[in-house]
């Protein structure tokens, strides 16, 4: 029977308790929302849809230790405004479409003292390609920025501002009901893109219709697969293996690298741009299942085409043999 509670936590050595506190608070993708200022309408309050790590309000020891390891209240826009817990060393700031629109107008809603500490940010990739000015503002103001995640598919757990729902949200499962306050299964994390993800939308409305995925990846590198390819290995290749085929990302990086140089920043400090999926544990399991199904379908088609080609080659060879002088 699985252990559901443990009542001797304080009997453990302090070092082990500290390790437990860290393991129980994985890095989060934190989504803060800033309302767009509209003339004649009172601006609403900023908000954050990401759960606060439970150990920050469990008891003094866990809270004190987590604060020493980097957690602090941040992103207070006004003296009386709300603040949100954030770990600048481990957490990623998710910038939604509403905030992107603000930044594209040259308005940085994040306090300067906080932007100087942010190391990782994430955008919806489809949005970032329309709001390059917003990314330039981030490069200019986010002094310690190391990584920029370009999100392709995202979880239902991510609470977006815009009314339009991406088809990936309907494709992925609903959030898991929380069993206890320490349950972190619905926390989203950047997840690796695989080559097969390009093919999954093409299987929609065919053999894989009950696992419907309608929106294709922004990167499109589909090309004929050589006959001697190890298909399973080919389809499971991570994005880093074929990133050179992502021309849109390369153009974006080139444009932002020029802007980075214009700011007088060293080339080696330019943040890395990485396309990812933003998924919870349940989403990741679902994606793995759909990948297995999709891989099976593609392998079946690949073998059928291989056999067809083999039959065609034999037929052509036979015809040529009959037409040759020796055959005559």
Question: Is residue 267 situated within a structural domain?
Answer: yes
Question: Is residue 88 situated within a structural domain?
Answer: yes
Give, as one character, the DSSP assignment of residue 54: G
* pLDDT at site 157: 57
Question: Is residue 101 situated within a structural domain?
Answer: yes
* pLDDT at site 260: 92
CA 193 remoteness from chain centre: 9
What are the start-end ranges of the H helices in the chain?
A: 14-23, 60-68, 97-104, 112-115, 125-128, 132-141, 167-171, 196-199, 231-235, 247-262, 281-323
* pLDDT at site 18: 94
| Cβ atoms of residues 248 and 218 within 8 Å | yes
Question: Is residue 27 situated within a structural domain?
Answer: yes
Question: Is residue 3 situated within a structural domain?
Answer: no
Place of tokens 């998924």: 279
For residue 46, the tally of other CB atoms under 10 A from its CB is 20
* pLDDT at site 5: 76
Residue-range definition of the domain harbouring residue 117: 9-194+238-279
For residue 227, the tally of other CB atoms under 10 A from its CB is 10
| Cβ atoms of residues 92 and 28 within 8 Å | yes
Question: Is residue 291 situated within a structural domain?
Answer: no
* Whole-number Å distance between alpha carbons of 34 and 77: 9
pTM: 0.80
The domain tally of the chain equals: 1
Along the 328 residues of the chain, how does pLDDT read in single tens digits?
566 777 888 899 999 999 999 998 889 998 887 765 554 444 555 667 777 888 888 889 999 999 999 999 998 876 667 788 999 999 999 988 888 888 888 888 888 889 999 999 998 887 777 788 888 888 888 889 999 999 988 876 555 444 445 555 555 666 666 555 556 667 888 999 999 888 887 775 444 444 445 556 776 666 777 777 888 888 899 988 888 888 888 888 899 999 999 999 998 999 999 999 988 888 888 888 888 988 888 888 888 887 887 888 788 788 877 776 655 5
* pLDDT at site 182: 56
* pLDDT at site 161: 42
Residues in CB range of 45: below 8 A, 6 or more apart: 35, 81, 82
* pLDDT at site 68: 94
* Whole-number Å distance between alpha carbons of 33 and 97: 9
| Cβ atoms of residues 219 and 245 within 8 Å | yes
């Amino acid at each position: 029977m699985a252990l559901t509670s443990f009542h001797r936590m304080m009997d453990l050595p302090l070092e082990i308790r500290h390790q437990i506190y860290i393991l129980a608070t994985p890095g989060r993708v934190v989504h803060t929302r800033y309302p767009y200022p509209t003339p004649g309408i009172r601006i609403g309050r900023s908000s954050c849809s990401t759960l606060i790590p439970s150990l920050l309000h469990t008891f003094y020891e866990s809270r004190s230790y987590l604060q020493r390891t980097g957690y602090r209240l941040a992103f207070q826009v006004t003296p009386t405004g709300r603040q949100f817990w954030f770990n600048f060393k481990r957490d990623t700031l998710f910038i939604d479409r509403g905030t992107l629109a603000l930044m594209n107008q040259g308005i940085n809603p994040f306090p300067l003292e906080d932007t100087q500490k942010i190391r990782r940010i994430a955008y919806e990739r489809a949005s970032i390609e329309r709001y390059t000015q917003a990314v330039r503002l981030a490069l200019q103001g986010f002094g310690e920025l190391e990584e920029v995640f370009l999100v392709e598919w995202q979880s239902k757990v991510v609470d977006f501002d815009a009314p339009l729902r991406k088809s990936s949200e309907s494709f992925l499962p609903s959030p898991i009901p929380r069993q206890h306050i320490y349950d972190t299964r619905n926390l989203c994390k950047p997840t690796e893109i695989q080559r097969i993800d390009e093919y999954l939308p093409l299987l929609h409305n065919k053999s894989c219709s009950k696992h419907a995925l309608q929106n294709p990846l922004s990167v499109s590198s589909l090309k004929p697969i050589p006959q001697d390819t190890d298909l399973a290995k080919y389809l499971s290749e991570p994005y880093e293996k074929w990133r050179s085929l992502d021309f849109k990302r390369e153009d974006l990086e080139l444009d932002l690298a020029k802007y980075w140089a214009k700011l007088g920043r060293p080339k080696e400090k330019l943040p890395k741009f990485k396309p990812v999926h933003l998924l919870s544990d349940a989403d990741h399991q679902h994606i793995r299942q759909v990948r297995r199904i999709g891989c099976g379908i593609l392998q079946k088609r690949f073998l059928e085409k291989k056999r067809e080609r083999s039959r065609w080659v034999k037929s052509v060879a036979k015809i040529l043999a009959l037409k040759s002088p020796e055959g005559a």
